């Protein structure tokens, strides 16, 4: 497991799991906030090519969301409405082309 992720969830033996990927920065941060408002600690990580330089370019889908394994089921329940809204809006945009 990556050191940065282990340190974020310090003191826990609970494995860390990626629950979403290919997210935009605003989308990932919104989902993280929704989870944290529900009491779930979540971490957003930029995984793009420039991630090591501390640069997070806008408009990319290079963000991933992580939670503890014990929170995965609840995370999926909480994010289900947000996931369907995101998929619906993407379908509408594709259909408008």
Any domain includes 27: yes
What are φ and ψ of residue 17, in 5° steps?
A: -130, 140
Any domain includes 39: yes
Q: What is the mean pLDDT of residues 3-21?
A: 75
What is the pTM for the complete model shown?
Answer: 0.72
* Residue 43 CB contacts under 8 Å (≥ 6 apart), including other chains: 5, 8, 9, 16, 32, 65, 66, 67
**Cβ atoms 62, 28 nearer than 8 A:** no
Any domain includes 97: no
How many domains is the chain partitioned into structurally? 1
Any domain includes 65: yes
**What CATH code is carried by the domain that includes residue 18?**
3.30.70.1530
**Cβ atoms 35, 73 nearer than 8 A:** no
* Per-residue pLDDT tens over the stretch 34-87: 999 999 999 998 888 765 566 666 678 889 999 999 999 999 999 998 877 655
> Residue 27 belongs to what domain range?
3-92
């Amino acid at each position: 497991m990556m050191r940065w992720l282990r340190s974020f969830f310090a003191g826990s033996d609970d494995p860390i799991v990626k629950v979403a990927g290919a997210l935009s920065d605003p989308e990932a941060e919104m989902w993280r906030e929704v989870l944290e408002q529900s009491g779930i600690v979540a971490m957003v990580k930029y995984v793009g090519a420039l991630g090591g330089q501390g640069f997070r370019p806008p408009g990319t889908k290079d963000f991933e969301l992580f939670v503890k394994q014990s929170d995965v089921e609840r995370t999926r329940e909480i994010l289900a409405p947000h996931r369907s809204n995101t998929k619906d809006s993407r379908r509408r945009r594709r259909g408008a082309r």
